[in-house]
Amino acid sequence: MPAAGPPAAALDPSWVTADPTPLAPDHAQRLAELSALDPALADLYRRGAELLAGAADVAALHERQVALLGRERGIVTRGLAELPSLPVEARKVRGRGLNLIKRWLSEIEAARRLVLERAAETRETIDVTLPGRRPWVGHRHVLGRIRDELLDLFHGLGYSVYESPEVERDEYNFTKLNFPPDHPARDAHDTYFLTDDVLLRTHTSPGWVRAMEERKPPLRLVFPGRVYRAEQVDASHMDQFHQIDGLFVDRNVSMADLKATLNAFARAIYGVEARTRLIPIYFPFVEPGCQMDVECSICGGSGRVAGEGGARRCAVCKGTGWIELLGAGMVHTEVFRAVGYDPEEVTGFAFGMGLERIAMMRYGIPEIRMFLENDVRFLRQF
Ligand code: PHE
């Protein structure tokens, strides 16, 4: 009774063969040993060994190995599966022969595989039809691109760029911006001090003071740059980040001008449909001071997003429907006095925004530290 299961595979007569002796030095002895058991077994071994030795590549080798030793339809495997249906004596002889064949063919297959793999590693043929290796071209960092996009926008509104130092004097970072020495508002701007008087700037606003001391009104300037704070680092806080401040000083500048400018900015960044709001907030260097929020683009301002098993609180705006975008306000009269401008003559507005926050909102980046890690898998997405 034949064993149940699929029929054995067939060996393709067109397959190329080769002498297996280099792979199995005792090939001839093996043939003799098998012939003594049963010439048909010797034939099966010889054919299998020659086919494995003749495999030109790993794919061909695999195909032949499956036909001979494959678990389902391998010829040797099927032969072993049929043993129980044989009379006892025949079963012993065939069983011994087939087990030898199985072991020897496996050895030849492994030896041939090694030869093929070594050859593939050392081969130096030049295939002139292969496409060339594309050189890996880098590009600018996402923050640099956002900065330039914003500078472009403000350039269109008549602003030019003013750069001021990252290592700043206390006077410019704080005092002349109307943070008196013991003012509690300094607490929110803890930073790295080089001396009692010299520190890493906590915002780009000191640039206003330098620009106003240097130039006469009217002024229309933007101040891009890196800023520092001694923050506990987490997903949304780093001890260095980037800001752009803006400053507009002239006669009769009003809060309405500020609002129009900020709305132009928000619509350029978040689309013409973007809704914004100004809410009052304290900064020592502006009066009145405000914060501009933009409607959360993730939840459309509802504060809730659809999720499995019903609506969930929107994680981006924390359920408020609004995202804080920037700080702004009318330049404080004390700041004008500190730089020698006459607050009876001029008025002005200013604003300051964080670039990381804008990029995180726009691209849905969940982690501020990614900007600094320089992992190309992150960088190349922008
Ligand atoms: N300099 C402020 C900060 O870094 C932001 C700001 C700028 C607020 C201009 C009002 C006006 O927090």
Residue numbering of the annotated binding site for Mg(2+) = 287
Give the mean model confidence (pLDDT) for residues 324-349: 97
Q: What is the mean pLDDT of residues 13-26?
A: 92
Report how far ligand 1's centroid is from the alpha carbon of 352 (Å).
5
Ligand 1 pocket: which of 186, 203, 293 to mutate (most atoms <8 Å of CB)?
A: 203
Known binding positions:
287
Question: Mind listing the pLDDT tens digit for each residue in 275-319?
Answer: 899 999 999 999 999 999 988 877 888 999 888 888 889 877 889
State the chain's mean pLDDT as an integer. Answer: 92
The residue ranges of every structural domain in the chain are: 27-123, 142-379
Choice from 164, 191, 205 to test ligand 1 binding pocket (greatest atom count within 8 A of CB): 205
Is residue 342's pLDDT more than 90? yes
Tell me, what's the pLDDT at 4? 60
Given the CA of residue 203, which atom of ligand 1 is nearest to it?
A: 4
Q: Is the confidence at residue 363, as pLDDT, over 50? A: yes
Q: Given a cut of 60, is residue 96 above it in pLDDT?
A: yes
Task: State the distance from the centre of ligand 1 to the C-alpha of 364, rounded, in angstroms.
Answer: 24
pLDDT score of 161 more than 90: yes
Q: Does the domain formed by 142-379 have CATH 3.30.930.10?
A: yes
Ligand 1 site, CB within 6 A:
203, 205, 245, 283, 286, 289, 327-329, 350-352
Closest atom of ligand 1 to 205 CA is: 1
**Rounded mean pLDDT of 258-264?**
94
User: For 168-203, what is each residue's pLDDT tens digit?
Assistant: 999 999 999 999 888 888 888 999 999 999 999 999
d(CA 185, CA 282): 9
Atom number in ligand 1 closest to CA 246: 9
Shortest-distance atom of ligand 1 to CA 289 = 10
Which pLDDT belongs to residue 1? 46
pLDDT of residue 150: 95
pLDDT of 92: 92
For residues 4-10, give the mean pLDDT: 76
**Residue 266: CB atoms within 10 Å:** 20
Q: Distance from the CA of 224 to the center of ligand 1, in angstroms?
A: 13
Q: Which atom of ligand 1 is nearest to the CA of 290?
A: 10
70 CA → ligand 1 middle, Å: 73
Mind spelling out the 3-state secondary structure of the chain?
CCCCCCCCCCCCCCCCCCCCCCCCCCHHHHHHHHHHHCHHHHHHHHHHHHHHHHCCCHHHHHHHHHHHHCCCCCHHHHHHHCHHHCCHHHHHHHHHHHHHHHHHHHHHHHHHHHHHHHHHHHCCCCCCCCCCCCCCCCCCCHHHHHHHHHHHHHHHCCCEECCCCCEEEHHHHCHHHCCCCCCHHHHHHCCCECCCCEEECCCCCHHHHHHHHHCCCCEEEEEEEEEECCCCCECCECCEEEEEEEEEEECCCCHHHHHHHHHHHHHHHHCCCCCEEEEECCCCCEEEEEEEEEECCCCCCCCEEEECCEEEECCCCCCCCEEEEEEEEEECHHHHHHCCCCCCCCEEEEEEEEHHHHHHHHHCCCCCCHHHHCCHHHHCCC
Q: What is the pLDDT of residue 366?
A: 83
For ligand 1, pick from 245, 286, 334, 357 the residue to mutate: most ligand atoms within 8 Å of CB.
Answer: 245
Residue whose CA is at the smallest distance from ligand 1 atom 10: 328
pLDDT value at 3 more than 70: no
pLDDT at 229 (0 to 100) = 96
pLDDT digits (tens, 9 = 90+) for 44-78: 999 999 999 999 999 999 999 999 999 989 999 99
| Most confidently modeled range among 36-40, 185-189, 221-225, 361-365 | 221-225
